[in-house]
Amino acid sequence: MARAYSSPIRREAAERTRIEILDATIALAYELERTDLTLEQIATRAGRSVQTLLRHFGSLDALIEAAVQRGTAQVARERSAPDGDIAGAIELLVAHYELRGRFVLRVLAREPAEETVSGPGRLLHRGWVQHVFARAIALASDPDALTDVLVVATDVYAWKLLRLDRGLSADEVTLRMRLMTEALTRRPE
């Protein structure tokens, strides 16, 4: 359970410590490519004691949950593109996969144990698709079906098939994803 502080300076210091712990947790998860971390591992990475972690978060589960929330928000920022810029959004998505894709694939391979990360990730990606392709989805005769196929066309597994399995460059993957999404969103004449 988090300690209540009466002084603004102490509150700010406590919040900085909390953020440093969360950032260390996220960095360690990416480095080890897993989320089943121990308090000892996180404390060492954060340069804090296990007791400090527990004082700020109460438990390992609460710490991991807070780190997942912070990490999910970071991913959303990494993938954020200006409204209406589908090409730019796909380019940012592929850049995100270049940075985080291998980690995500390892997390997905360990399901259901990694559901605390993969569940929010799936929701984030579906929301990204609904935002980026909002206009096409709104005009579709079956919006749910179009959303589903756009999720698949832009999923980390599509990136894996093209980038890792096929050996295409990131630029080529971006073009292939644009080709798929353009074909799916093209209105029949």
Please say whether the beta carbons of 28 and 41 come within 8 A: yes
CB neighbours of residue 102 within 10 Å:
16
CB under 8 A, 24+ apart: contacts of 178-187: 178/86, 178/87, 178/90, 180/153, 180/154, 181/86, 181/90, 181/133, 181/150, 181/153, 181/154, 184/136, 184/146, 184/149, 184/150, 184/153, 185/133, 185/136, 185/146, 185/150, 187/139
Per-residue model confidence (pLDDT) at position 188: 66
Q: Backbone dihedral region of 4: left (phi > 0), alpha (psi from -120 to 50 degrees) or beta?
A: beta
| pLDDT value at residue 116 | 82
With vertex at residue 119, the alpha carbon angle to CA 115 and CA 124, rounded to the nearest 5 degrees, is 150
Among the listed residues 58, 92, 60, 63, the one whose alpha carbon sits nearest the alpha carbon of residue 75: 92
What domains are there in the chain, each with its CATH number? 1-74 (1.10.10), 79-189 (no CATH)
The distance from CA 46 to its chain's CA centroid, rounded to whole angstroms, is 21
pTM for the structure as a whole:
0.82
- Print pLDDT tens along the chain (189 aa): 555 656 888 888 889 999 999 999 999 999 998 888 999 999 999 999 999 999 999 999 999 999 999 999 999 898 888 888 999 999 999 999 999 999 999 988 987 877 888 888 899 999 999 999 999 999 999 999 999 999 999 999 999 999 999 999 999 999 999 999 999 999 765
Residue 104 CA to residue 4 CA, distance in Å, equals 36
- Give the Cα separation of 170 and 110 in Å (integer): 26
Instruction: Report yes or no: 75 and 117 within 8 Å, Cβ to Cβ.
Output: no
What pLDDT score was predicted for residue 7? 82
Q: What is the pLDDT of residue 50?
A: 96
